[in-house]
Amino acid sequence: MGCGRVGSTLAVDLEKAGHTVAVIDQNREAFRRLGADFNGRTIAGMGFDRDILLEAGIEKADAFAAVSNGDNSNILAARVARENFNVKNVVARIYDPGRAEIYQRLGIPTVATVLWTTDQIMRRLAPDGTKSEWRDATGSVQLIEVHLHQDWFGEAVSLIEKNTGARVAFITRLAEGVLPDEHTVLQEGDLVHILAKEKDISAIEKSLAKPPAGA
């Protein structure tokens, strides 16, 4: 549901991947974004209307994405797809971070675009400190790139986990990803990516900004 920039790109990519796609939008002109090569179905109407969904083939759908420009429309359509038609894979794009958290707790996967965009911009504005690379829809768990005090280099990766309680997900070393084990030692130039709870990030930053304890 939704044939804006995101919806049209998603539809074309899914079709290229071999899937059968139907696109719903209130505005027939929006379907022009799909291009002349799109072979899927296009249905003009409200994406949360039962008859429109039936026309689009919702009863046979394996997945449903609500990516219109309205939070209310997206979440309503996602709930109808999930609760009325038992679609297995449902996702809704939500602009309001607060709403995204609520709907996630209701069991509806959401993509909070404002949170993601803010994180990406902050990564480019602030060169030091932590850089958020991913967060779950509730914002409670994040994958972050951390800035280390120089004295950490030469120490075992496991010391980070011992000092912070966070989990080292991977290291970027010489432009390649490395999955660390108990024998991995930090090297100058390593970029360290850790999984942590949002509430712990400030303490983790402080711990990693000074020489390691217990080295």
Q: What's the predicted TM-score (pTM) here?
A: 0.63
Residues 9 and 108 in one domain: yes
Does any domain span residue 214? no
Residues 70 and 154 in one domain: no
List, as one string, the DSSP characters of 21-66. -EEEES-GGGGGGG-TT--SEEEES-TT-HHHHHHHTGGG-SEEEE
Q: What is the mean pLDDT of residues 92-106?
A: 79
Q: Does residue 213 carry a pLDDT above 70?
A: yes
Proportion of the chain above pLDDT 90, given as a percent:
67
Does any domain span residue 215? no
Residues 133 and 78 in one domain: no
Q: Which of 57-61, 138-142, 158-162 has the lowest mean pLDDT?
A: 138-142
Q: Which of 112, 147, 163 delimits the end of a domain?
A: 112
Residues 101 and 173 in one domain: no
Does any domain span residue 213? no
Expressed as residue numbers, the domain containing 148 is: 126-208
Does any domain span residue 76? yes
Does any domain span residue 82? yes
* Residue keyed to tokens 């379907």: 31
Q: In terms of DSSP bridges, do strands 110-112 and 131-135 run parallel, antiparallel, or are they unpaired?
A: unpaired
Q: What is the mean pLDDT of residues 47-52?
A: 95
Q: Strand runs (DSSP E) across the chain, as ranges?
A: 22-25, 41-44, 63-66, 89-94, 110-112, 131-135, 141-146, 167-173, 176-178, 191-197
Does any domain span residue 43? yes
Q: Is 170 helix (H, G, I), strand (E, B) or coil?
A: strand
pLDDT tens per residue, range 115-151: 767 766 666 666 566 777 788 767 789 998 898 999 9
Residues 103 and 163 in one domain: no
The CATH number of whichever domain residue 55 belongs to comes to: 3.40.50.720
Residues 108 and 130 in one domain: no
Q: Give strand pairing partners of 111.
A: 93
- The secondary structure of residue 156, as a DSSP letter, is B
Residues 185 and 87 in one domain: no
The domain total for the chain is 2
The CATH number of whichever domain residue 190 belongs to comes to: 3.30.70.1450
Does any domain span residue 131? yes
pLDDT of residue 184: 95
Does any domain span residue 119? no
Residues 174 and 131 in one domain: yes
Mean model confidence pLDDT for the chain: 89
pLDDT of residue 122: 63
Residues 68 and 131 in one domain: no
Q: Yes or no: say if 71 and 98 are a contact pair by the CB < 8 Å rule.
A: no
